[in-house]
Chain A
Amino acid sequence: MQSTATFDQSWDGPGAPGRLRREFDWHALLWLLVFPKKRHRIALTVPGLFLMALAMGIGSAAYNTASNILFITLSLLLACLLLSGLLSWFNFMGLCWRLRPQGSWRAGHETLVTVELLNTKRWLPTYSLWFELATQPRHIPEPENDGKNLRMREILAAAESHITRGRVRLRERVEPGGTATLDWGVKPTRRGETILELGAVGSLFPFGFLRKNIGTDLKQTVLVWPAQVEYQWTGAMAAHAGSQGRRTARAGTGDDLLALRKYQQGDSHRLIHWKASARLGQMMVRQFAAESRDGFVLDLDSSAARWTRPEQFELLCSLAGMLAEDLFAAGRLRGVIVNGGTLRETRRLRDVEAWLDDLARLEPVSEGRGDSPNRPQGGWGQPPLPSMSSSFTHNVITFAPEGVRGVTAYVDGRKTASA
């Protein structure tokens, strides 16, 4: 399965295909020499600083002594600096890149982001690049302040804690007309929309004097599904619903890739995803989806009045997602209903993915089922009743908070599973 992320297949970078080529303009070129483009940063490294200091020292000595030999040396040093800038520009010329998130993204689950690189130059290779990647939730939650005013630094630190950064390096050169792929392993921490960003592409090429960073605007929004959670089936429904809260490891008749998961004993070796295993350092297998059969309907009520605790709400989403997947894998998922809406049948894998996408975006709603004309209210502590609009009156799974941290699933009002 793959998350229904909004894939942006377009290339970005100086050599991106389809990029408008502006007519050559002397003014623009001269201005570029003086004032670099937005988000292009050039910084001196330690050897670069040393070179500058050396050049200044030799320049001072040259003026102090009027020695043309020192002037020659100074000219050569300055020319080498210019050459460094020129070669660095050549290195980035004709280069383009794009991001490809791999597989589905699930909170708490390692996944891969692939950076694809294309060198459109005809006969110059590209060397020594790095890519600065970052992921962050689209809506970063406010920091907890315990009633006291927080300083900007603390607010920023709290925000930074939600951002995952990484850097991948190009170890070998990219031949002219060639491509390269770099993988970055990342573990999303939160459910919801996540922005995957390629912040900058940098290089120390050619001599290590200058660190050049080209800022990019390459962003993609990726939906992170709720985390997997362990749950327990209780009562007679356990036999009907499937296994005890663990995902079944059997291949389905479909050939849709569901997810990447850790290897379990009994998995076919043909399912092993070797590349992901090498990157993450543990055996990972492909999980394919099975066709659904007649079975249960999940009826989810996300009213804020019922779900007052954020962690319980997250657990709700995780449990709802897990149940949907397990029931679908067992062929027992009929459809899903959210907040008293219409039933959405889940016949195919795509439907389950859509359900998981909804769960990824699900937020507590202020008007609960109590206000919905289609939903009769149950009392507090009582299992919620199925939606009146639903034509199903049995095998309807509803959810309710249990205690302070737990969530319970009810089938036709009877407690069936809890997490």
Chain B
Amino acid sequence: MSTAAKPRQLNLDELLRLKWLLGGALALVSLWTIFFLDVEALGLVGVAGSVIIAVLAWPQLPGRLPPLVWKLAVPAIIAAMVADFYFSPDTLPVLIRLAILLVLYRAVAYRRKREDLQLLVLGLFLVVVAGVLTVSLGFAFLLLLFTACALGFLFIINLIDAAETGAVRTAEAETAWTRLGWRPFLGRLRTVADWRLLVFASVLFLAVVAMSGLLFLVIPRFEMASGFFLDRYITRKSRSGFSDSVKFGDVTELLRDDSVAMRVDLTDASGIREEPYWRLVVLDEYGPGGFKVSAGLKGELLRGQRIMQQLRGRPLGRKVDEVGGVWTFYVEPGVSRFLPLPGSYGLLRMRDLVPLQVSPGNRLVALRTEPMAMSAFQLDEVELTPTLTDARFPLLLRQAQVDQPRADDPSRYDPRLTLRGPEGPANEAVMRRIVGEITGGAALPAEEFARRTNAWLRAKHAYALSVKIPKGEGTDDLVRWLDSNEPGFCEYFAAGFTVLARAAGHPARVVAGFHGGALNGFENYFAVKNSNAHAWAEIYDGKAAWLRADPTPGGGAIRTQNSASGVQQEQDSSWSARVDSLRVLWYRRIVNFDSRQQVQMIEQVKTFTTDSGSALKAWLEDKTRHLKAWVAKPWDITRILRSLGWAVAAAGSGWLLWRLAGRGWQRWWQWRRPAEYDPVRRTAGRWLARLRQPSEDRGRKAEDGGVIHELQRLRYGRRETWPEPRAVFKRARQARRSVKR
């Protein structure tokens, strides 16, 4: 090797120790992704993480385990996997747990190159699966962290390959790296670290990220998708109350959850005058425990299932008062398989072809299964209206009254369920009495009945998140609550309204969804939280429409289209809103990026380039015209002198600034590295380069070799041996002139 000063490099043992550290970091990052998944593996992750941290801190620990442990490890993992497959209903969580065990095994054992690569692949599997299933913003951060660790890991493996001589080492020498102390090792790392290389590596990593972003944008997209296959291998329970059956309390449980359930991107939020009702699920069948989607309605949804990407809501040509422009929904996983609809719409557009279940009469659209990841869709021509047109309902009701289908018959929707309430003589007696109190014995139209019922409910019951049902026999809980003065929450109010309406002979049903939301001040979108969960009712007006009725105190009375109570949308500009806006950007720009947006982006780039070019051209033409006009003006001595003065002043200022900048740079450099920086040495170095160059160009040496010797002394010699620098530089200048001649 070179006989110069020994370079600062890590030896083989130190490289092995660094590789161990990076391998452990990789394993921990990949295990971290499990926290984003909703699989039963957190305990296993905790144990694995602790063990990995322990062996990172004490690398000699694995060497102390008896060989039998290592021999039994793989059979134990296989046995655990088989048992897990047997007992677990889903495939994917089993694979994830297996991957965790394998990562743990690899991270803890002493590895050779092949095993290092296995660890890398296992970690990548966990990261990618978590990302694909959750599409969360955290995945992006973890992927970048994983990539950085992986690149460093591979780099160190390569250096180890080069450093190994191939000679057989004793067992003691093989594990010498585990006995390195942390302090000396970290001290060595600090000694060896070169800030220039670290900056270079950081710049390269940023370049990789930028390059991958560019590749992501330009990779052509083709519409081949038919839904993500992994959905089939894992089932998830809805975390919200919006499933096919809603028991009393399900919706209210969500009110304590402040996490965002969905985000709605609007192209024009200015037209929104009221808090929207986001309609998810219609519960038409009453039972003592609560309301649920009837078998007939489920059957109708199933029969209406088609694989489609677009769905027309309203017939074409119908004029409506549309608001909001294009509504883009980003619904978090676990909310519901039913799509939230704020009102009537012209067109519903999914990201790709998916199986959709549709009930046009009930204005319900549902996915086939609960989505594992965030689901997105768009609505056009949305009209926020409290009425839901359903002209076919009276006909269906009459037919059902004639045919008398079974209530639990899934092959046919039974509209008579919208007239059925609590059964039994005791229940009916109470219901009759209450209805009599409300109507005063008169037969009221639906709208008027709804108004009076809302008033009656609000007068009798206050709002509270907990309900105390009075004890009693022979009547349902709901009926006893209605007959009491106990407070209640939205489900009880909605259910109470519905059963009262049914008792009065008006078809009615409960609807669950969200109400309201906050407008995010950063990215102009609606953030609807789980705490906005709400239940309300719908009553048929006897003609052609269902009317929305919200009897919950604070929820408002029945809403008509011309309601004068406009609600100013609250703007959320808090820090959490700022962070949440990043998530919307992630969904908008990355997750939802499809071929249409790719084409739009290309058109935008093209338009931007064309417009910028035109603007620049116009600006240049304008400046040229001004210049020509200025030159064309009559010149006199005063004008000439003034112009010259300005030119000289501008040139002088520019030169002064340049010199100041150079001086500032020199000062900074001198402050940064006082030992290395010396202006005399720098100048001598410059003169040496100048004197060398002309002599090389002309093929003869500089005439004054003595001056070169003195310049070398100034450049490389000790300060005490320096000749007078100024004189030397003067002679160098003369020598250069003579060489040039």
Contacts and interface: CB of A to CB of B under 8 A. Distances in A.
B593 A68 contact: yes
Interface in B242-256: none
Interface stretch (A4-12, A71-79, A286-294, A342-350): A71-79
A178 interface: yes
A207 B131 contact: no
B124 to A, nearest CB: 8
A354 interface: no
B429 interface: no
B591 A68 contact: yes
B121 A169 contact: no
Contacts of B143: 72-73, 76
A47 interface: yes
Nearest to B11: A172
Nearest to A172: B9
Given A66-B221, A178-B2, A206 B155 contact: yes
Contacts, number: 131
Given A63-B222, A169-B162, A208-B157, A80 B151 contact: yes
A279 to B, nearest CB: 13
Contact of B140 (A71, A72, A172, A181): A72
Interface string A304-319: 0000000000000000
Given A71-B219, A171-B165, A172-B7, A180 B1 contact: yes
Interface string A169-182: 11111110011110
A128 B161 contact: yes
A204 to B, nearest CB: 6
B165 A70 contact: no
A28 interface: no
Given A69-B139, A172-B9, A127 B159 contact: yes
A206 B154 contact: yes
Given A47-B117, A170-B162, A180-B2, A73 B7 contact: no
B600 to A, nearest CB: 15
A75 B162 CA distance: 29
Contact of B7 (A67, A70, A175, A204): A175
B215 A73 contact: no
Given A79-B212, A79-B215, A87-B204, A69 B131 contact: yes
A208 B128 contact: no
B386 to A, nearest CB: 37
B594 interface: yes
Nearest to A178: B2
Nearest to B127: A73
Nearest to B220: A63
Q: Which of B121, B128, B352, B594 has the most CB of A within 10 A?
A: B128
Interface string A32-54: 00000000000000010010001
Contacts of B593: 68
Contacts of A172: 1, 7, 9, 163
Q: Which of B4, B155, B209 has the most CB of A within 10 A?
A: B155
A75 B161 contact: no
Contact of B1 (A64, A78, A181): A181
Contact of A66 (B200, B208, B212, B223): B223
Nearest to B594: A66
Interface stretch (B224-232, B281-289, B546-554): B224-232
B661 interface: no
A65 interface: yes
A73 B128 contact: yes
Nearest to A207: B154
A124 interface: yes
Contacts of A208: 154, 157-158, 161
Given A173-B7, A207-B151, A73 B224 contact: no
A82 B117 CA distance: 19
Nearest to A66: B225
B117 A50 contact: yes
Interface string B145-182: 00100010011011101110100000000000000000
Contacts of A87: 204
A128 B2 CA distance: 16
B158 A70 contact: no
A274 to B, nearest CB: 15
B352 A66 contact: yes
Contacts of B360: none
A365 interface: no
Contacts of A171: 162-163, 165
Contacts of A74: 215, 219
B81 interface: no
B598 to A, nearest CB: 11
B699 to A, nearest CB: 14
B158 A69 contact: no
Nearest to B162: A128
A311 B139 CA distance: 75
B129 to A, nearest CB: 10
A207 B151 CA distance: 7
Interface string B180-219: 0000000000000000110010001001110111011001
B533 to A, nearest CB: 29
A338 interface: no
A62 to B, nearest CB: 8
A180 B121 CA distance: 36
A68 B216 CA distance: 8
Given A76-B208, A82-B211, A207-B155, 14 more contacts: A65-B225, A66-B221, A69-B131, A75-B213, A76-B212, A78-B212, A83-B151, A83-B208, A87-B204, A125-B7, A125-B197, A178-B2, A206-B158, A208-B158
7 closest A-B pairs by CB: A66-B225, A79-B212, A128-B162, A75-B215, A207-B154, A75-B212, A79-B211
26 contacts: A50-B117, A50-B121, A64-B225, A65-B227, A65-B229, A66-B224, A67-B132, A68-B590, A69-B132, A72-B216, A72-B590, A75-B213, A75-B216, A76-B143, A79-B209, A79-B211, A83-B211, A127-B162, A171-B163, A172-B9, A175-B7, A179-B2, A181-B2, A206-B155, A207-B151, A208-B154
